[in-house]
Each structure stands twice: as C-alpha cells, then as structure tokens.
Chain A
Amino acid sequence: MSWPGQEDVFFSTSLASYLDKKLLVLLRDGRKLLGILRSFDQFANVVLEGAHERVIVGELYCDIVLGLYVIRGENVVLIGELDPEREELPASMTPGWAIQRGDLKDCFFPFFFQAQKAEKEASDLKGTMRKRMEFLDLD
C-alpha cells in the first residue's frame, strides 16, 4: 500500500465537511478532546482551536482547558461532530471547574478526585484506558 498522496484529501471520508465545527475527538488512550477543527491532513493529523479535555466521572464532569492543539493522527480513534441542537451533556451532569493544565495536582476540589478514585475502584479496570488516571491517587 502506497503512502496517501495529496488527492486523498478528497476521498469520501474527508474531514473537510468538519472544518470550523466543534468536534469531539476520541483518542486511543481514552481521552476525549473537544475543540474547533481548523486544519487536517491525509493522516488525520488535526488542529483543534480552543481545545479542552472533558473528564467525566459518573455524574460529574470537568473541563481542562488546553488551548491550541495539534493532534497526531495515529492517536485518533474517532472524530465526531457535536450536534448543536441537542444538549452537549445530559442535564443531570454536574459541572466541575474548568481548570488550566498544571492545576491538576493542586486541585481545590478534592471531592471530584475522591469520586474519581471511588469510581475507579468500583469499575473493572479493563485495558489501558484507565491506567493514566493512577497518577491522580492522592494517598
């Protein structure tokens, strides 16, 4: 199989229709990033403007503001368009704080991470998707 050329941008699964739209990008490690698609290429490398990572623990969610992001295509599992009509989140979801990267360890909402730890203990640890959360153990 040859490397994809320039013309592959116009194949039927082109991301061109998603430009300037708010997207959900699901990564191989299980992270969910939201942001506006500004650019892409044949490898599904993606530029997201105003990107934030949405961490969801049960009924709580938390947005980690990231800013301008370039995501390497090999890490992308799925790209989805957010439906502007439907609610972004179920109404029952409680917002946490939108925090800047780097504040994670000096969190001033320990409740959120307690809940996160409890959920981690309660659910099956399948695969590597949750392993990245282990560094948040506050023991």
Chain B
Amino acid sequence: MLFFSYFKELVGKEVTVELKNDLAIKGILHSVDQYLNIKLENTRVVDQDKYPHMELFHKGSVVRYVQLPPDGVDIDILHDATRREARGG
C-alpha cells in the first residue's frame, strides 16, 4: 500500500519507467492501481536509436512491469513514508 500511495502522489509528474526487458519509457504518470499497474500519457521511448520501431505508441501505455530509475523519484519523501510505515503509523 505504501508504494501505491507514493505513486498516487507522483500523478501528473513526468517519470521514466524502465521495464524488465530494458525498454525505458518516459511519460507523464496518469494513473496507478493497487497492483502498481501504471498508465502513462504522452509517452516517448528513451534512447530512440536502440528501439526505433517503438515510435508506435505515443498516446499512453498500461505498463505491467516496472523498475523506476532514481531521476523520477524523490528519495526524502520515500524515506519519511517508509519510517512511518515501519513505526506502524
């Protein structure tokens, strides 16, 4: 639940989502659900020459697997939330 709430805070921000198959997609976080499925808007592929044919999707993607790289994350807020969660509050 912690990360679900965390991602809800990030809605509207631009994030880079890195998939397990090494594909990286930049986009604006539109929505997230409790299973951490992610919907992105205005997507574009990072590193175009590596995946040129991925121009195909630009509107939005429902992403299943995610690794978030540090440039999309505010670590301090995450630290606070984790401390609160660990305390049971």
The answer to whether A and B assemble together is: yes
Q: Give the number of chain A interface residues (Cβ < 8 Å).
A: 32
B56 touches A78 (CB 8 A): no
**Closest chain B residue to A28, Cβ basis:** B21
Contacts of B87 in A (CB 8 A): none
Contacts of A82 in B (CB 8 A): 56-57, 59
- Contacts between the two chains (Cβ within 8 Å), count: 80
**Closest chain A residue to B63, Cβ basis:** A78
A8-B33, A80-B60, A127-B22 provided; 5 other pairs, C-beta below 8 A? A12-B32, A44-B62, A79-B61, A80-B56, A127-B21
**What are 24 A-to-B residue pairs whose CB atoms are below 8 Å?**
A11-B33, A12-B30, A12-B33, A18-B62, A26-B23, A32-B56, A44-B37, A56-B53, A76-B64, A77-B21, A77-B64, A78-B23, A78-B57, A79-B62, A80-B59, A80-B61, A80-B62, A81-B57, A82-B56, A83-B59, A86-B55, A90-B53, A127-B22, A129-B21
**A89 interfacial contact with B, CB 8 Å:** yes
Residues of B within 8 A of A (CB): 19-23, 25, 30-35, 37-39, 43, 52-53, 55-65
Q: Which of A15, A28, A79 has the most chain B CB atoms inside 10 A of its CB?
A: A79
Residues of A within 8 A of B (CB): 4, 8, 11-13, 15, 18, 24, 26, 28, 30, 32, 44, 54, 56, 61, 76-83, 86, 88-90, 93, 126-127, 129
